[in-house]
Amino acid sequence: MATDRDSVLEAAVGMLSRRPTAHLDEIARAAGISRATLHRIFPGREALIREVGALSLRKVAGALDTAAIEEGDAEAALRRLIEAVVPDAALCAFLAGENQLYDDPEINELWEVQDARIRALFLRGQQEGVIRIELSAGWLSEAFFDLVAGVGWAVQDGRLAPRDSAFSLAELFLGGALRRTPKP
């Protein structure tokens, strides 16, 4: 029975990233605890959602730091970011699917800080000539996080093997989905 806060949050992420409307009973069952125990840890659904959102953004910030995205060339930094963020792709899936967080100014501020760092990475890549300039850095950031969320859902649903997820994300995002034939 998982009664520590982190174990409960982990179970909540697993449930809420797949089923954002899951009831507290279902989340408690997924964590292996009673609803009463869940309420002792989190006073209600809103508090739980907010805590999972804050955890998700802390993990994204940690991935950005681990990847040292402000260092080196942009392509290498982006590849490091992919490797660092994929283990927590389910958290990005949760963020993508949970609209309740958009009303929280503190969560929005945390998100903006992380998004600004990623936009700066894409802008730097555009300035270095390695990232297409006809796509805005803001759009690239949005698309990147949506793909990370997609990885989270695909792994959870068994459509993508965890060991293939970083490679799949890098190939799709960096190379695009279109197959290119070499020019003679």
Q: Does domain 50-175 have CATH number 1.10.357.10?
A: yes
Q: What is the pLDDT of residue 4?
A: 81
- Which pair of structure tokens corresponds to residue 80? 């490091």
For residues 22 and 19, give the distance between their C-alpha atoms in angstroms, rounded to a whole number: 5
Residue corresponding to tokens 């449930």? 15
| Burial (CB count within 10 angstroms: exposed 0-12, middle 13-18, buried 19+), residue 40 | exposed
Q: What is the pLDDT of residue 96?
A: 86
For residues 43 and 40, give the distance between their C-alpha atoms in angstroms, rounded to a whole number: 6
Task: Report in angstroms the alpha-carbon separations of 169 from 33, 69, 128.
Answer: 35, 17, 22
- Which pair of structure tokens corresponds to residue 34? 């009673």
Query: In which region does residue 42 sit, left (phi positive, over 0), alpha (psi from -120 to 50) or beta (all else)?
Result: beta
Do 7 and 52 form a contact (C-beta atoms < 8 A)?
Answer: no
Q: What is the pLDDT of residue 171?
A: 93
Q: What is the pLDDT of residue 3?
A: 61
184 residues of the chain, pLDDT tens digit each: 456 888 888 889 888 888 888 899 999 999 999 999 999 999 988 899 999 999 899 999 999 999 999 999 999 999 999 999 999 999 998 888 887 777 888 888 989 999 999 999 999 999 999 998 889 999 999 999 999 999 999 999 999 999 999 999 999 999 876 556 667 7
Give the chain's length. Answer: 184
